[in-house]
Amino acid sequence: MTASPRIPVSAAQFAASERWEENVEIILPLIDAAERDGVRLLVLPEGVLARFTTRRERIKDAAQPLDGPFVTALLQHTRGAAVTVVVGIHETSDNGRPYNTLVALRGGEIIAVYRKLHLYDAFSGAESDNITAADEVPPLIDVDGFRIGLMTCYDVRFPELARLLALRGADAIALPAAWARGLLKEAHWRTLVTARALDNTLYLVASGEAGAGCIGQSLIVDPLGVTIAQAAEAPAVITNHLDRERIEHARSSLPVLEHRRFEVDPTPRALPPVHTPILERS
């Protein structure tokens, strides 16, 4: 199949609830609207199977396997649809602490899975209290000839991961997130998403959860660091295009991938033995 020169993509943000059934009811119309509008990639927020703002250890009981009712409902709804959906869930694991997992769905099938590498043990967060860190590099998925890498929220603070995806051929990165509010955190989000796009001359399609404690502010940033779509804090859908000519222009005028002097080693380091010190509340 001939690769498309330009495809529409969307990032949708909403306030996730504690009940997976309510979140499915929000997501299914978003999929329908994306399919109706010809969107080829729909990026949804991180961990929207269930969101707990207090007693976050409850995610251990709420987590589901990939063949559980949450993902199954989305798979059934995408049968016959052309849109690719990237959504974050919490997936059960053998050790009782679930994975923070991205699932890419298309045509009623799971086409890729990525379990979060970098856990948010920073500022006032201690994600590793309840979540298991994975060790596998994110995959690339193909959407109409565009190669899309996957990252989750805190991953965006680690430039080597985005660089590795770019070197493996990514034209864009889908970034589901639930970015916590806090001092300077909105500036961090905008800076980091923009930097990862510009660092690697690729598109960033970033979806931010819009519930209590999260900033929303979904972004689509082009390969030269230009924000081409942006949401505020409320539920919203933003849409623009991935454009092959724009990627080629960026990489010819700013050939940072060719000029780099160092390789990225994809071997994960051992996890730190203790949490990062709490610096501030977020």
Give the residue numbers marked as catalytic.
Answer: 46, 116, 153
Could you tell me the CA-to-CA distances from 279 to 124, 186, 212, 221 in Å, in that order? Answer: 7, 17, 21, 29
| CB proximity list for 12: less than 8 A, separation 6 or greater | 30, 34, 42, 43, 44, 45, 207, 218, 236, 237, 238
Rounded Cα–Cα distance for residues 237 and 84 (Å): 15
SS3 for 7-76 is EEEEEEECCCCCCHHHHHHHHHHHHHHHHHCCCCEEECCCCCCCCCCCCHHHHHHHCECCCCHHHHHHHH
Contact 6, 241 (CB under 8 A): yes
Rounded Cα–Cα distance for residues 21 and 48 (Å): 11
Question: Residue 107, by phi and psi: left (phi above 0), alpha (psi -120 to 50) or beta?
Answer: left
